[in-house]
Amino acid sequence: EVTLALLKPDLLMDPASIHTILEEIHSHNIHITRRKTLQWTRAEAEQFYNEHQGRFFFNRLVGYMTSGPLMALELSGPGVISKWRGMLGSTHPVRMRVERPKCLRARFGLTDTRNAFHGSDSLEAAKRELKFIFK
């Protein structure tokens, strides 16, 4: 199984955090099969998050995702989609600090929009998103 992981712009400002996260990925027996650092244009961010267009947070999300570089990872391994999403916790970092303080979003996320990570939610989404990133 493969999935897309995005390490969002806030994380890339702190190389020590990136190192910690990559170590944790490996410690969960997840393999990084492709890796790419990129900077999205507004059009690219809007296309990637198209399913959220019209929602109240869309412009904030696009602004955040174009505010700096991000790192895309193709992760692989048995059950990697649920494993990665489990490592992340929900998109609400403040809630995660109470409910699951050791998950990645509790430790590195700031707000619902600036939640530090992305993880594909299904095999279909992973396939589509990996194709978008890695062409």
Number of folded domains in the chain?
1
Amino acid code (one letter) for 69:
P
Active site residues: 118
Centre a 10 Å sphere on the Cβ of residue 38 and count the other Cβ atoms it contains: 11
User: What is the spatial distance between Cα 135 and Cα 44, in angstroms, rounded to a whole number?
Assistant: 13
Q: Which domain holds residue 104?
A: 2-134
The pLDDT of residue 65: 97
C-alpha closest to that of 25 among 117, 128, 131: 117
User: What is the spatial distance between Cα 76 and Cα 4, in angstroms, rounded to a whole number?
Assistant: 9
Helix (H, G, I), strand (E, B) or coil at 131: helix
pTM greater than 0.85:
yes
pLDDT per residue of the chain (135 residues) written in tens, 0 to 9: 999 999 999 999 999 999 999 999 999 999 999 999 999 999 999 999 999 999 999 999 999 999 999 999 999 999 999 999 999 999 999 999 999 999 999 999 999 989 999 999 999 999 999 999 998
